[in-house]
Chains A and B, each alone.
Chain A
Amino acid sequence: MALPLSYNWRNLFVRKTTTLLTCLVIATVVGVFTWLVGFAGALNRSLSYANDAHKLIVLKQGATSETNSAILPEDYNKLSQVQDVAVNPKTGEPLRSPEMIVQVSLPRRRDNGTTFANVAVRGVTDAAFGVHRNVKLLGKGFSSGSMEVIVGEQAAKQFGGVQIGDTINLGYSGNRGYKVVGYFSANGGPMETEIWGPLTTLMNSYNRNMYSSVNVLLNDKADPDKVAKFVQGPSVDLNAQTEPAYWYDQSKNIRIYLGIVGGLVSIMCVAAIFAIANTMYATVAGRTREFAMLRTIGFSKNQILLSVVIEAVFLALLGGAMGCIACEAWLVLAGNTKDMFGATTFTTMAFEIKLTPYMVVGALLLVAGVAVLGALPPAVRASRVHVIDALREP
């Protein structure tokens, strides 16, 4: 049997200051790590809800996003040549949704309106609700031709002035008041950060006569890549991407950001390894007689080594628990939503970050691994202590 765990646990509190400082280093690593994983998870969750592979997003040739795309009505008409388009079972109309997108600057609620974010306002027709299958009205929708809008759940949570009953100033001169009449969900997908209104009214308000994009829902038998190729061909000559491909490109900036933060976490992990090694070296140096006594009464080198490693793991788990609590506290106090720009749209994608039990377990396993790496060199030293010399130490 190994040394009792109470021995390792209590030894942590012999050097309280060192233990606390090491715990703080580990807590920082875990706090950032869990936040990062939460953010990445939220992003993936959000994008996974915008992964309708049978939906094509059609833009002007050369455009990289809806915001810099302009499709003339005659180009839109060419899309009638596209085969394999799904039809609305009620009306028999092909599910093609011409849409216009503009931006409006809205105050962030999390900092009481100190900062603003660009939020997409999408003009749509009734066809949009058939094409975007994950969009669900929560209550009342807007009426065609009215000055009414509905707001995505995430947008309503994150931004001010877009709650039911509020009026948003839209239009070319920002002087057209649109009343918020309802909310919609998009299963947590990127559209949940948008505001939707009637296409024709919004186009008039913005003096537009071109669409930003056309969203086309294909039937189940269609080969989306083949249809996209046809759209890009000479007869239609527009750019087409499936929805997953489109949003993968749009989230490029966020993935770069996550990569940078991930790199920082890796560097912090290395720092934590050194912090643990330093702490455990100091611990071992102060307890050579104790280890010599344990060797004398019959504990093996491996048992001593394991004991030091377990002590370091306890230290790391203590710090890890502090980090998880700090992360959860941060999410509760500072808000668990985060928004970032899309790669080319300059409109905001918002996410809800959640600290799940899996993330906590993952973070604790990470720091336990860090602890083992950091503790091994001092643990080897402890196990190889020269028994007779150590027993003679004053």
Chain B
Amino acid sequence: MSAADIVATSVRKVYHKDRIEIPVLDGLSLKIDAGEFVVLMGPSGSGKSTLLHLIGGLDSPTSGSIRVGEYNLERMTERELTAWRSRHVGFIFQMYHLVPVLTAAQNVELPLLLFKMSSAERRERVATALKVVGLADRTDHRPNQLSGGQEQRVAIARAIVTDPDVILADEPTGDLDAKTSEEILALLNLLNSEFNKTILMVTHDPRAASHGQRVVHLEKGVLEREERNPARPAMAAS
């Protein structure tokens, strides 16, 4: 079990469209402790997903710096970022993004194929990850044989199977009903509280936000305000 802190300093991200500059993040600074569960909220276009992508190394800031654990992302090449993501970051998407032709176990196994690891060890890790998300009996099912909630659980198992330091979730309950959403959020809570994962989750849903230890509100690319959740006090990082 490991966790990493995240420090974004004066991050600016500008997109260009038809030679017009569109600032999405405007000098944003944010610190997330190792093992913390932080929720990013804000209206569409406020820069939540962009910040998530920058922290995940999928994009680079126009200026400013982002550090995740001991890694300064703005100094890394695209190839280094790709390798870093595979080892340190687990991604959860709103649309699950499972490979339809692979079984649940094979989908979960995908990130492990990037590691030097015996097939027996891979199988063991996959089984553990699927057990954590409560799908030990669905290993051979294809995505089209699973419900939306089960698909998201498989996606979560895929995100945690490499034991990453950070889990980045982009609207993980956006496509699920209320009951299933609660189950997924409970699972994220479990990963945070039991496995000490640093979690950064983007959501529009206030009920989903209530599962975080801290809620950060963005507005027009800057940090508008943040709230601590008294029901979920932050734990000390291990």
The interface of chain A, by Cβ under 8 A from chain B, is 1-4, 6-7, 10-11, 14, 289-290, 292-300, 387-388, 391-392
Q: Which residues of B contact A1 (CB under 8 A)?
A: 113-114
Q: Which residues of A contact B158 (CB under 8 A)?
A: 297
Q: Is B59 on the interface with A (CB-CB < 8 A)?
A: yes
Q: How far is the CB of A224 from chain B (nearest CB, A)?
A: 66
Q: Give chain B interface residues in 8-57, CB to chain A under 8 Å.
A: 49, 53, 56
1/0 per position for B98-132, CB-CB distance to A under 8 A? 01111000100111011000000000000000000
- Nearest residue in B to A387 (C-beta to C-beta)? B58
- Nearest residue in A to B114 (C-beta to C-beta)? A298
Q: How far is the CB of A335 from chain B (nearest CB, A)?
A: 43
Q: How far is the CA of A297 from the CA of B57 in the complex (A)?
A: 11
Contact of B82 among A6, A7, A292, A300 (CB under 8 A): A300
Q: How far is the CA of A297 from the CA of B81 in the complex (A)?
A: 11
Asked, given contacts A4-B106, A10-B102, A14-B101, whether A296 binds B56 with beta carbons under 8 Å apart, the answer is: yes
- Nearest residue in B to A298 (C-beta to C-beta)? B86
Q: How far is the CA of A298 from the CA of B162 in the complex (A)?
A: 11
Asked, given contacts A6-B102, A7-B102, A298-B86, whether A289 binds B113 with beta carbons under 8 Å apart, the answer is: no
Q: Which stretch from B89-97, B178-186, B230-238 is at the chain A interface?
A: B89-97
Q: How far is the CB of B151 from chain A (nearest CB, A)?
A: 13
Q: How far is the CA of A109 from the CA of B86 in the complex (A)?
A: 67
Q: How far is the CB of B71 from chain A (nearest CB, A)?
A: 14
Q: Is B85 on the interface with A (CB-CB < 8 A)?
A: yes
Q: How far is the CA of A293 from the CA of B100 in the complex (A)?
A: 12
Q: Main SS of the interface on chain B?
A: helix
Q: How far is the CB of B46 from chain A (nearest CB, A)?
A: 15
- Nearest residue in A to B111 (C-beta to C-beta)? A297
B113–A3 contact, CB under 8 A?
yes
B101–A297 contact, CB under 8 A?
no
A298–B102 contact, CB under 8 A?
no
- Nearest residue in B to A8 (C-beta to C-beta)? B101
Q: Which residues of A contact B87 (CB under 8 A)?
A: 298
* 19 contacting pairs across A/B (C-beta < 8 A): A1-B113, A3-B110, A3-B113, A4-B106, A4-B113, A7-B102, A10-B102, A11-B101, A289-B95, A293-B91, A295-B82, A296-B85, A296-B91, A298-B82, A298-B83, A299-B86, A300-B82, A387-B58, A391-B97
Q: Which residues of A contact B102 (CB under 8 A)?
A: 4, 6-7, 10
Residue of A10, A294, A296 most packed against chain B (CB within 10 A): A296
Q: Which residues of B contact A296 (CB under 8 A)?
A: 56, 58, 85, 91
Give me the 6 closest cross-chain CB pairs, A-B, nearest first.
A298-B86, A10-B101, A293-B97, A1-B113, A297-B111, A298-B85
Q: Tell me how many residue pairs across A and B have CB atoms closer than 8 Å.
A: 62
Q: Is B79 on the interface with A (CB-CB < 8 A)?
A: yes
Q: How far is the CA of A288 from the CA of B83 in the complex (A)?
A: 20
Q: How far is the CB of A283 from chain B (nearest CB, A)?
A: 12
Q: How far is the CA of A256 from the CA of B190 in the complex (A)?
A: 76
Asked, given contacts A295-B82, A388-B53, whether A6 binds B58 with beta carbons under 8 Å apart, the answer is: no
B58–A2 contact, CB under 8 A?
no
Q: Which residues of B contact A391 (CB under 8 A)?
A: 93, 97, 170
B110–A2 contact, CB under 8 A?
no
Q: How far is the CA of A294 from the CA of B114 in the complex (A)?
A: 11
Q: How far is the CB of B126 from chain A (nearest CB, A)?
A: 13
Q: How far is the CB of B129 from chain A (nearest CB, A)?
A: 13
Q: How far is the CB of B52 from chain A (nearest CB, A)?
A: 10
Q: How far is the CA of A11 from the CA of B101 in the complex (A)?
A: 6
- Nearest residue in B to A2 (C-beta to C-beta)? B113
Q: How far is the CA of A375 from the CA of B202 in the complex (A)?
A: 38
1/0 per position for B202-218, CB-CB distance to A under 8 A? 00000000000000000
Q: Which residues of B contact A295 (CB under 8 A)?
A: 82
Q: How far is the CB of A311 from chain B (nearest CB, A)?
A: 11
A7–B59 contact, CB under 8 A?
no
B58–A388 contact, CB under 8 A?
yes
Asked, given contacts A4-B106, A387-B58, whether A300 binds B79 with beta carbons under 8 Å apart, the answer is: yes
Residue of A293, A294, A297, A387 most packed against chain B (CB within 10 A): A297
Q: How far is the CB of B201 from chain A (nearest CB, A)?
A: 16
- Nearest residue in A to B117 (C-beta to C-beta)? A1
Asked, given contacts A296-B58, A297-B86, A297-B111, whether A7 binds B79 with beta carbons under 8 Å apart, the answer is: no
Q: Which residues of B contact A4 (CB under 8 A)?
A: 102, 106, 109, 113
Q: How far is the CB of A196 from chain B (nearest CB, A)?
A: 64
B83–A7 contact, CB under 8 A?
no
Q: Which residues of A contact B56 (CB under 8 A)?
A: 296
Contact of B111 among A11, A14, A298 (CB under 8 A): A298
Residue of B85, B106, B114 most packed against chain A (CB within 10 A): B114
Q: How far is the CA of A71 from the CA of B186 in the complex (A)?
A: 104
Residue of B56, B101, B102 most packed against chain A (CB within 10 A): B101
1/0 per position for B53-84, CB-CB distance to A under 8 A? 10010110000000000000000000100110
Q: How far is the CB of A298 from chain B (nearest CB, A)?
A: 2
